[in-house]
Structures are given as C-alpha cells and as structure tokens.
Amino acid sequence: MITSSLPHKYEVCGSDSLFCPVQIILLESLSFLPPQSRRVCGRLCLHSRILFSRAGGWISRPRHCSQQGVGYAPHFMELTLEAYRNIVRSVGNRADISTLCRVCQGFRNVAEKALYNTLFLQDDEGTELLCRTLAGSPRLAFLVDALTISIESEDEDDTSSEKSDMEDTTPLQLPESFWPSIALALESTTQLRYLNIHLPSDGNFSNSLSWVLKNTTFKLRKFHCDLAWDSDLVLFLKRQTLLEDLYIQDYVEGHDPPVDDSHSQTIPPTLDTQDMPRLSMLECTFSEAAIALVPGRPITHLKTCFSRDEPNSKREEMSQLLSRIARSTQPLKSIDIGDSLYSEAFSIELLTAIVNTKAMKKICYLGTLALPVHGRERLQFYGLLMRLPIIQCVEFEVSQWEPPPSSHAALRALASELRLYVPSINKVIFVNDFDRSVVTAFQGICRVDVEISTDLLWREK
C-alpha cells in the first residue's frame, strides 16, 4: 500500500477551509482492477465516509474528523471490515480478488476468505497444485467451507460427436499422485462443511477411493458421494455427527467386513441407528440404502429408486420401504421414488399404500407416479391424492400417453383438472421421457414455468 502526504489542493476539508488529517492510498496499488471495478469500489467506500476517490487517489478520512481539527501530517486509517467485504464482493473475477491479497493486510484477510471459502476442482493439474497448497498451508485450509471434486471421463470431456470404439473404452488416466494429494488436502481442511465428490459413471473408472477420507476430522453438513460403499466410507459416515444431507451412489447390502490389519479388528460393515443422528435429507440410487438408513433417523426428505422389476418382487420391496419409512423419527415431507418402468397399475398400488401409511400424512412432495390415461382411473387416482391434506407438489410420468401431452395448453389443462380435486397442489411436474415441464398455480391461474429447476423441488422444506 502506497501512502503520501496530503496534496495542497486537497488540504481543505469542509466549508470553513479548515484542515483535517487524511491518508491517500494511490490507485497504483489497485491499478489491476478494471475501470468499472475501480468506480464501484470508490462508491462502496464513499457510503461509509471513510474512503473516497478523487483525481487518481483514494483519500481515507477518519469518522471522528471535525471541522475544528487542523493538521498536515499523514494519518493512517484502516477501512472497516464491512468496507473491505463490499470491495471484494464487487470484484467478481477470482484473479483480481487474488491480486487484492497483495494490497494490504486488511484486503488480504477478506480476499483470502472469498477465494478459499468455496472451491471447485476439475482439471487434473490445477487440482493437484491447489491440494498441495492446502496441505502446506493450514491457515488457508482452515478457510475452506465447501469443496467440490469433479472428475470427468474422457468421453464427457470430448465434445466431438464421432468417436471410435477404442476411444470409448479408454480408461481415464490420472497421475499417481492425484488422489494422495487430495487425501492430504482433505486432512487439512478441518472446517469443511460441504463436500461433493463427482466421479465418472462409466465402467472404466474405479470409485474405490474412500481411503482419501480416512484421516479427516471435519464435520460435514452436506455430503455428495459417488464413492464405492466400503469400510472406509462406513467409518467416515460414523464420524459425521452433524451431517444433515447425504447423497450416496453405491450401497452394498450384506457386505462382508474386511479386517483392518493395523488393529487386527473386524471393521463394522453397516451403520448403527445412532450414527448420523441429524440426517434429514437422503438421496440414494438403491432402495436398499433407504431401507437401511431411514429407521431411527429424522429423515424428512427421501429420493430413491426401486431396484426390482418383477411385479411381485417390487411389491415386496415397496412394502419393506414404506415400513422402514414409518420408523423415521420425523414425519416424511417429501418422497420421490424412481422406477425403471412406470405403469398405471403399480402407481395406483403405490399411491394407495402411501396414503394408508400414517407417517405419510404430512407429505408435501410426491413423485414419481404414472398418471392414468383413462378418465375413470384418473378420477380414482385424484381421489387418493385428496387423502393427503397438505400435498403441494406432484410429479407425473406421462411418457406412455398417446400422444403425450407436450403443449403448454395440454399441460395447463391437466394441472387445472387435478386442482379441481386437490386445490392444495400448486406445482405439477410432467415427465415425458427425460423432458420435464413444471406447471405452477398462482391465484387460480396455471402456467408453465420454464425457470424452475425440477431437480431441487423435492428438497424444498
């Protein structure tokens, strides 16, 4: 930071031509900022009457300066924390925020928090470099609150539409030091609260990487996990006493417990009901995971999928799932059960079982059900929905309709028909193959809303 004494033409402060002690911070120290950012920073500081820009300089004036005080000597005046935060917030470019760290200690403290609070790691080289930085600097690692590690397969990175069979089966190659560096970084980020690990879903990538969590001490609030279900992952989840939101891609029922050679003890293969005592939101790709994790926990939001296709087996799976949901310590508010093949008959069976389950009486979100085509069955369907007193959002599969309702007028008509019987519903999601359309109702008017993210509706509290 460069300071100078007061130039003569800026000595007058006030209408009575009296002097006050000031400090000038020349714009050379912030010359890296784009002109727009410099103007914004000047305005942000002006509102606090501490800093204002004039003729190429930034002048800092203490709040207690009065028109009766006279002085010529430079006077150092730190900006308020709020002013530093407003300036950093106005600089959207991470490179510019990084440069702010070199202006002064006040900027450095705030800018580093902005830089390291939320990290997204995607490219291999940059990820390793940042992980080494975090592992070597506990002070910076302490600032990390949210971390996303996203590994994309070569197929996902390639934007070309034509690829050879050889390219399609090429395993993703990462440096040998890649995952050890991530493990060291995770070990250093002691204040981490949000962790997302996204891995390729193709068969060419091994997701048996839970060992990177072995020496971590942080307590997560939200965890998105594409890792294989193994002993290291189970032990990690046992330590997460503050976890509220969990996504798991893998689950192995009846996993044989391996032996930990370092302790010569059998590692527990499953979670006890006292583990993750705050878990309220669970998303899992296998109903077996929901069956195992819901009982004894305050689960209010659940998204899962049926694992079986044969009708009788699926009915047994449905019965088992609903009986476990009834053992949640909190009433369920949102449930979304996916299926590989939706049928009207099974959807009516599922809806009947749901409305007859006492733990489901406070359901606000319900999905995904095949909406019957014929009027009589659809009226029966609506009658069952009427037994859910506070239902607000439903998700319907309409791919089997001929032709499927796709126009805005058709979607609005179906939503309006539903609301004649269940007026508490204000959102209806229609699924046609993989396309989703949302109809919202406000003051009795239904309209197709193209801005709503359908992936997040089931998470609303």
194-218 pLDDT, tens digit per residue, is 999 999 877 667 889 999 999 999 9
Going by their DSSP bridges, the two strands 265-266 and 259-260 should be labelled as antiparallel
Report how far residue 372's alpha carbon sits from residue 380's, in angstroms, rounded to the nearest whole number. Answer: 9
Question: In terms of residue numbers, what domain contains 103?
Answer: 80-117
Report how far residue 74's alpha carbon sits from residue 5's, in angstroms, rounded to the nearest whole number. Answer: 5
Say whether both 296 and 445 belong to one domain: yes
Confidence of residue 104 (pLDDT cuts 50, 70, 90): confident
In 256-312, which ranges are E strands?
A: 259-260, 265-266, 281-284, 301-305
Asked if the structure places residue 31 within a domain, the reply is no
Among 109-113, 222-226, 397-401, 453-457, the range scoring the smallest mean pLDDT is: 109-113
Among 10-24, 157-171, 380-394, 439-453, the range scoring the smallest mean pLDDT is: 10-24
Residue type, 1: M
Say whether both 392 and 406 belong to one domain: yes
Say whether both 344 and 241 belong to one domain: no
Among 29-38, 279-288, 372-381, 444-453, the range scoring the smallest mean pLDDT is: 29-38
pLDDT at 413: 97
Asked if the structure places residue 200 within a domain, the reply is yes
348 versus 260: which is more confidently predicted?
348
pLDDT digits (tens, 9 = 90+) for 300-337: 999 999 999 999 999 999 999 999 999 999 999 999 99
Going by their DSSP bridges, the two strands 365-370 and 194-198 should be labelled as unpaired
User: What is the chain's mean pLDDT, rounded?
Assistant: 81
Report how far residue 280's alpha carbon sits from residue 277's, in angstroms, rounded to the nearest whole number. Answer: 9
pLDDT digits (tens, 9 = 90+) for 370-406: 999 998 999 999 999 999 999 999 999 999 999 999 9
Residues 220-254 as b/e (b if ≥16 CB within 10 A, e otherwise) read bbebbbbbbbbbbbbbbbebbeebbbbbbbbbeee
Question: Is residue 26's pLDDT more than 60?
Answer: no
Asked if the structure places residue 295 within a domain, the reply is yes
Handedness of CA 312, 318, 324, 327 (dihedral sign): negative
Say whether both 107 and 143 belong to one domain: no
The DSSP element (H or E) to which 60 belongs, if any, is: strand 57-60
Closest CA relative to residue 431, chosen from 460, 394, 459: 394
pLDDT at 36: 57
Say whether both 429 and 302 belong to one domain: yes
Asked if the structure places residue 193 within a domain, the reply is yes
Number of domains composing the chain: 3
- Asked if 297 contacts 261 with a C-beta cutoff of 8 angstroms, the reply is no
User: Which one of 70, 92, 117 terminates a domain?
Assistant: 117
Question: Is residue 280's pLDDT more than 60?
Answer: yes
417 versus 75: which is more confidently predicted?
417
Say whether both 240 and 322 belong to one domain: no
Say whether both 417 and 316 belong to one domain: yes
Say whether both 230 and 295 belong to one domain: no
Asked if the structure places residue 265 within a domain, the reply is no
For 243, the token pair is 């976890």
Say whether both 145 and 109 belong to one domain: no
Confidence of residue 100 (pLDDT cuts 50, 70, 90): confident
pLDDT at 203: 64
Question: Is residue 235's pLDDT more than 50?
Answer: yes
Say whether both 95 and 127 belong to one domain: no
For 402, the token pair is 């001929």
Say whether both 412 and 368 belong to one domain: yes
User: Which one of 192, 218, 250 terminates a domain?
Assistant: 250
Q: Give the residue-averaged pLDDT of 401-417.
A: 95
Q: Give the residue-averaged pLDDT of 239-251.
A: 96
User: Which one of 117, 134, 167 terminates a domain?
Assistant: 117
Asked if the structure places residue 25 within a domain, the reply is no
Say whether both 329 and 241 belong to one domain: no
Confidence of residue 15 (pLDDT cuts 50, 70, 90): very low
Confidence of residue 34 (pLDDT cuts 50, 70, 90): low
pLDDT digits (tens, 9 = 90+) for 350-366: 999 999 999 999 999 99
Which residue stretches of 101-219 are H helix?
105-116, 124-136, 138-141, 154-157, 165-168, 178-188
pLDDT at 456: 92
pTM over 0.85: no
Asked if the structure places residue 198 within a domain, the reply is yes
Asked if the structure places residue 93 within a domain, the reply is yes
Closest CA relative to residue 186, chosen from 229, 227, 137, 147: 147
Report how far residue 189's alpha carbon sits from residue 114's, in angstroms, rounded to the nearest whole number. Answer: 16
